Structure 1
Amino acid sequence: MEAMYTTGLNIHYFGVIVLMGVVVFNIVMLSLSHHLIRYSKRMRIVMPISGSLIALILFTGAVMMAAKHLHFTFANVAMIAIAIIMIILEAKRYKTLKRKTDITQEGAFSEYKKKAFRFLGIEISLLIAITFWMILQ
């Protein structure tokens, strides 16, 4: 049982690290992108990856909580809240691209970039904060 819990914890950590890499990749991809259509095509590939990683992290966290007999701690509640916030931010980022960015409108992509950088900055900040908090705990 202890080996399974350790394996689940390692998968959970790996998922968080890979999610950080995907968020950084999104930031780099957004900063280097100059064409809306190319960016939106790339984003349609990367977005399911980040969603799947968030789901992986939530699933492994739920399995580990079940192994601990659903013992809620403040850290568990904080991780669940951050996962929900990240899901909302990803949905807002996609919705902003889908609805508010018109190809014919001048400067629309630069306006989207400002909002997307803000969303991605919040995501990476939350990930780094909870990671360092869990390491120090």
Structure 2
Amino acid sequence: MEAMYKMGLEIHYFGVMVLMGVVMFNIVMLALSKQVIRYSKRMRIVMPISASLIALILFTGSIMMAAKHLHFTFANLAMIVVGIVMIILEAKRYKTLKRRTDITDEGAFDLYKRKAFRFLGIEAALLLALSVWMMV
């Protein structure tokens, strides 16, 4: 049982680290993008990866909580809240891009970039803060 719990924690940590990499990749991809059409095509590839990683992290976290007999701690609640906030931020970022009429207007992609950088910055800060807190 201890080996399964340890493996689950390793999968959970690996998922968090890969998600941090995907968020950083999204930031770089957004910074280098000049055309909205090319960016939206690339984002349609990366978005399911982000969503799958968030789901992996939430799933492995819930399995770890079940292994601890659903013992809620402040850290567990913080991780759940951060997971929900990340889902909301990803949905807002996608919804903002999905509005074609706003994006195809002059200067709308720059406005989208500012919003997306803000969303991605919040995601990166939350992941980093929670990861550092869990390692301490």
Match of 2:12 in 1: 12
1:10 to partner: Cα distance: 0.1
1:81-120 aligned within 5 A: 81-99=81-99, 101-103=102-104, 105-120=105-120
CA RMSD of aligned residues (A): 0.7
Q: Secondary structure at the match of 1:47?
A: helix
**In structure 2, how many angstroms separate the alpha carbons of the residues matched to 1:54 and 1:2?**
25
Letter in 2 for 1:102: I
- Give the residue type in structure 2 aligned to 1:80: I
Partner Cα separation in structure 1 for residue 67 and residue 86 of structure 2: 25
1:52-67 alignment runs, 5 A limit = 52-67=52-67
Which deviates further from its counterpart, 94-103 or 18-27? Answer: 94-103
Paired residues for 1:19-34 under 5 Å: 19-34=19-34
* Deviation string, structure 1 residues 33-56 (Cα, Å, up to 9, x no partner): 000000000000000000000000
Deviations 1:4-52 (A, max 9, x none): 0000000000000000000000000000000000000000000000000
Which digits, 9 at most, give the CA deviation of each residue in 1:72-108, with x for residues without a partner? 00000000000000000000000001116332x1001
Question: Which residue in the other structure is 1:45 paired with?
Answer: 45
Which ranges in structure 1 are unaligned for 5 or more consecutive residues? none
CA distance in 2, matches of 1:7, 1:13: 10
The normalised TM-score by structure 1 is 0.97
CA contact (8 A) 1:101 1:112 kept: no
Matches within 5 A, 1:61-80: 61-80=61-80
Q: Contact 2:27–2:117 (CA<8 Å) still a contact in 1? A: yes
Q: Percent same amino acid among aligned pairs?
A: 76
